[in-house]
Amino acid sequence: MSREMTPLERVVATIKREEPDRVPVVLYFQSAAQFAAVREDYTWQEMLNNPNKLYRNVLLQYEHYGADNFFLPLDFRADGEALGSKVDYSLKVGGGMRMPVVSQFAVQSREDIDKLEVPDVQRAGRNPVILEVIKKLSKKYGNKVPIVGFVNSPPDVATDVIKGHYSTVLPMMANDKEALHKLLSKITEYEIEFGKAMVAAGAHALATVGGGFNHLTIGPAQFEEFVAKYQAQIVKNVGVPYCFHQCQNATPFLDSMVGTGTGAIAFHELVDLQMVKEKYGKKVILAGNVGVSDSNSVMYGGTPEMVDAAAKKAIEIGMPGSGYWLSAGCEVHHALPEENIFALIKAAQKYGRY
């Protein structure tokens, strides 16, 4: 039996297409951070803006849950906030959560895009907190656990920056492309610099979770023009391993996702893992895709036994030949039963031994 690897060794082995001791479990641990916030009686605002609280919470991803990575920031608003939008934590956003929502947009109209300035990434928004936490994680676990820094997909960030949210950005993809490209270029410039700053602080890898621009809203040509093109620039310029996740059914976009040059792709349970393994498994690392998003998905609405069975099936498809990370189909969120997160991680230990 092979020696127990550290999470970092385990993940690096998969990137090198070598067999690790077992399949790694790589998670986008985001709003599930609320479990600890509730237990310790602090709010999202306190957690996301206080480096000590954020650090303690992120540590739990590995120390409490047993994931093979750290993932931060924990919310989707950090980029928009850094670019000048104001957020509000007091609005009720489903289930009493206090995740930040944009309350004031940095850009008020299409005509104002030219005025948007790319900020100093070291000082903008909550970046000082995020960078400090990465430094602390690196100091304690830098040689043992992969630290993954997160930037939101540029068009998703655009919806946090320009007034009107998706109702403004989506039509711009059809009849005001020039202005939208100008905005996306500025956001991408910012994200490349912030990505580099996270790497300099100690992040081993970066990830993007593409959300609202999915098969329900746009077609393959728009995905290539407004999502993949900018993602490719980020991947190319940050110079570290990259994981690109796309929400919902990414099947029509897989060629574009792989074409960005990303080292890994992650995808929702609507995507056929077997098909992806056969078509893309030799080109990129695959991460996925135990159901987590919909109310009838196994991690959300199922039992630990059902999660165990679904994870076993995914591992059987993904692990042969290495290059596979067991993961949920999307972010690990606040509405999941905690025992289902543990069941997913345990499944890799049970069924993922090489």
What are the residues binding another protein (CB under 8 A)? 167, 170-175, 216-219, 222, 294
**Closest distance between another protein and the C-beta of residue 89, in Å?**
22
Of 143 and 175, the one with the shorter C-beta distance to another protein is: 175
Burial degree of 51 (CB within 10 A; 0-12, 13-18, 19+): middle
**Closest distance between another protein and the C-beta of residue 221, in Å?**
9
C-alpha 148/C-alpha 73 separation (Å) is 9
Of 5 and 179, the one with the shorter C-beta distance to another protein is: 179
Of 143 and 167, the one with the shorter C-beta distance to another protein is: 167
C-alpha 27/C-alpha 10 separation (Å) is 14
Of 148 and 162, the one with the shorter C-beta distance to another protein is: 162
Q: Give the rounded distance of the alpha carbon of 336 from its chain centre.
A: 17
**Closest distance between another protein and the C-beta of residue 173, in Å?**
4
Of 1 and 216, the one with the shorter C-beta distance to another protein is: 216
**Closest distance between another protein and the C-beta of residue 84, in Å?**
25
User: Which has the closest alpha carbon to 293: 323, 260, 243, 250?
Assistant: 250
**Closest distance between another protein and the C-beta of residue 52, in Å?**
37
Non-local CB neighbours of 161 within 8 Å, separated by 6+ positions: 80, 83, 84, 85, 105, 106, 107, 116, 183, 187
What phi-psi label fits residue 95: left (phi over 0), alpha (psi between -120 and 50 degrees) or beta?
A: left
What is residue 145's DSSP assignment?
S
Non-local CB neighbours of 12 within 8 Å, separated by 6+ positions: none
What phi-psi label fits residue 106: left (phi over 0), alpha (psi between -120 and 50 degrees) or beta?
A: alpha
Strand-pairing partners, residue 134, are none
Angle at 335 between CA 103 and CA 339, to 5 degrees: 150
Of 211 and 281, the one with the shorter C-beta distance to another protein is: 211
Of 171 and 239, the one with the shorter C-beta distance to another protein is: 171
Non-local CB neighbours of 91 within 8 Å, separated by 6+ positions: 101, 103
**Closest distance between another protein and the C-beta of residue 110, in Å?**
12
**Closest distance between another protein and the C-beta of residue 340, in Å?**
21
Of 212 and 288, the one with the shorter C-beta distance to another protein is: 212
